[in-house]
Structures are given as structure tokens and as C-alpha cells.
Chains A and B, each alone.
Chain A
Amino acid sequence: MQPDDLTRVLAPKLGENLLGVEAFEGMAGRVRFRREAALDLFRAVRDDLSFAHLSMVGGIDWVDHREVFYVAWSDSARQYVLLSTDVPATDAHVETASAVWPSANWHERETWELVDITFDHHPDLRHLLTPDGYAFHPLLRSFKIHEPEELEVKTRHV
């Protein structure tokens, strides 16, 4: 599958919410989209392009904005596809993919607690790797390494 094939299927469905499809090494392509069209895109990628398995969700803190990315796998094409969207750092939220790919559930919990990106309508947005009520988002660039004692006080007393 080539980036052109992706564009041909996705462009009619997403319209102007499809920001571009680029070649990406080792994958079918990189699809950049506006977060408003997230659910439409997920459905189209799963049903029309046969990417039935979502293998990861992650977030990147680019300081001025944040990026959410999804990697899906197609058994018939034997290829991955990368989907990514930018969200503003002050209002970092995007629609959950777990209604389309249930495996997104835990990945989104992890992204939420580490990079502070909220997933709307997520069925179970709880801490996954850090304790309940953990006060930090450690993979943000603004996170400072704490002295163990300070971290302990803040972690124990939340």
C-alpha cells in the first residue's frame, strides 16, 4: 500500500480534516489529520483500509504543542500505518480510539498519565503505570527530576 492509496480512500471521507499523507519509512504512510475527524478516520482506516489491529498509541510533547500518534497493522497488506494529530498544549484532548480498536484502552491510559493528553469518552481513564492520584506527568518536558524524598512526599500524600 502506498500513500496515494491511503489518500484515495481517506480524502473523500475526511475532506479538509485530512491534512496530508506522506511517505514514511517502513510503513504504508503517515496520515496527518485534524482531531475533529478522529473517529471518522479510525473507522475508515479500520473498515475501508483493513487495518484491523492497533498496535500502539503514544504522545509527544513538542513544548508548543503535543502530538498524538497511532500505529495500526493490516494483516492483508502486511504493513503498518502511522496516524498523527497535533493538539494544543493548553487544551490537549482527542476522541478515544477505544470504541474502534478496543486495544487502544490501555495505551490511552498510559498516554494520558505520562504526557497529559485527555481522551474524551474513554471508558476507564485511570492511572496505569503510576499510582492513583499521582501528581506528575513525567514524560512532559517541563517535568523536573525530583529528589526521591520530595517525590515520595508528593506521591504518598495525594
Chain B
Amino acid sequence: MGGLTAAQAPPAPSPRNPTVDLQLSNELPMATQAAVPFIEIEALRAKEFIPASKEALTSLIAEQGQAKLIRPMFNWSGRNSLFPLHWGLACCAIEFAAAFGARWDAERFGVVARSSPRQADLMIVNGTVTWKVAHKLITLYEQMAEPKWVIAMGNCATGGGPFRTAYSVVPGVDKLVPVDVYIAGCPPRPEALLDGILKLEQLIRERKE
């Protein structure tokens, strides 16, 4: 179903689309004139370069404010390099894997699955969460460095899915960790997963602190 709608809909702006890049440059307000006196960088020795650039950055921040300069830069780099945790819980993990294959190629959005929670900033809960695995999931979430996000992929992670009344299934992973984006479907197609990741990028773009 996702494939059909994606084919019929007009082409949506992608992160590689120039319009989005233009928005990006609005979001990064640069000083109209040099914030610091012109420094002849080439004339500086390495020892002098660090204090000089620090001074330049400090005065830029003082002029533009941290919220306007550092935060957008931070959000921009964060949302273009979302590293999900590489794990699978149930059948949705097959679609998760397909999204990283050649056909859907999630890497073009900067999404690279990492095998260690220390290197990941996105947890995609791709399958049925049982009470047995619940505290391992929480441990993995806590091992991830801030800032971090969670996508609940599929009906199981969203609300228990077909196993909602089963004796061993957590009815929705939001009972355990805070969830940012929910993706419906059993399983959601890889397009839907990519759409969820783009929705999350939108959330990160609007992040204030």
C-alpha cells in the first residue's frame, strides 16, 4: 500500500532536494558582515589558530545567540546522521533489514545501523516486545547517549498489535520508553519506515533545547 501511494503522490521534497537545503540556510543565520576583524588565517601558526578561532566563534555566538546558531547547527548535523540501533525483535525486523538493502537504501538519508547502543542515537523498536525482553530494552535505551529518539515500528510496538491480550506481550513500547514517532502497519513497508524517519527528522529540525 505504501508503494502505491508513494508512486501516485507528487514527488515529495527529500533532504537532497534543493528547496530543503534553502530552508537550511535560512535556519543558520550568518553574520552579514564579519563578526570579528579579518584574521589572516594563513599567516597564523597552528598554536595561534585555536585561540583565534575560539575568539571568532565566541563573538559570533555573542552576536547571534546560542539558540539561533548552535542549536540549528546541532539539529542539522543530528538529523542528517541518525544512527539506529541494529537489532530485531520480530517480523518487522525483516522490513527494517529491507530498508537498509539496495532497493530502499536508507543510507542515503544518513541512516546507518550501528551494532552498539553507545554509537546509536535512534532506537527503532521493530517488533513484538515481550515482558521478558522489556528490561533489556530499557537497558539498551539507557546505554544510548543523549540526545536519543525512539521509533515504534509496526502495530506490535505501537500497541501490542495482534498479541495485545497475550500473556507475555507489552501492550505498546511507550509503556517502557518515550516514543517520538509511531509507524502503523503489520508490518509497515520499508517506505513507511523511511517516511517515519523523515518525520523524525522534521521533529529534530524543530527541536529547541
**B residues less than 8 Å from A131 (CB atoms):** 131-132, 134-135
Interface residues of B in 146-176 (CB under 8 A from A): 160, 164-165, 167-171, 175
Pair A143/B134 contact, Cβ less than 8 Å: no
**In which size bucket is the chain B interface?**
10 to 19
A134-B168 Cα distance, complex, nearest whole Å: 9
Q: Hey, which chain B residues are within 8 Å of A127, CB to CB?
A: 132
A157 to chain B, nearest CB (A): 12
Task: Establish whether residues B165 and A136, one from each chain, have CB atoms under 8 Å apart when the complex forms.
Answer: no
Contact present for A129 and B165 (CB under 8 Å): no
A155 within 8 A of B: yes
Let me know if B160 and A130 touch, CB within 8 A: no
> What is the bound-complex CA distance between A98 and B66, given in angstroms?
65
Closest Cβ neighbor of B134 among chain A residues? A131
Given A131-B132, A131-B134, A134-B131, the answer on whether A143 and B167 have CB atoms closer than 8 Å is yes
**A151 and chain B: residue at smallest CB distance:** B167
Chain B contacts of A63 at CB under 8 A? none
The count of residues in chain A whose C-beta lies closer than 8 Å to any C-beta of chain B is: 16
Report which of A130, A149, A151, A152 forms a contact with B132, defined as CB distance below 8 A: A130
Pairwise interchain contact B165-A155, C-beta atoms closer than 8 A = no
Q: Mark B110-138, 1 if CB is under 8 A from A, else 0.
A: 00000000000000000000111011000
Chain B positions within 8 Å of A, measured between CB atoms, are: 130-132, 134-135, 160, 164-165, 167-171, 175
A interface vs B, CB < 8 Å? 127, 129-131, 134, 136, 138, 143, 145-149, 151-152, 155
**Could you write out 15 A-B pairs with CB less than 8 Å apart?**
A127-B132, A129-B132, A130-B131, A130-B168, A131-B132, A134-B131, A138-B167, A143-B167, A145-B165, A145-B167, A148-B164, A148-B165, A148-B169, A148-B171, A152-B170
Closest 8 CB pairs of A and B: A148-B171, A138-B167, A131-B131, A145-B165, A155-B131, A131-B132, A130-B168, A148-B164
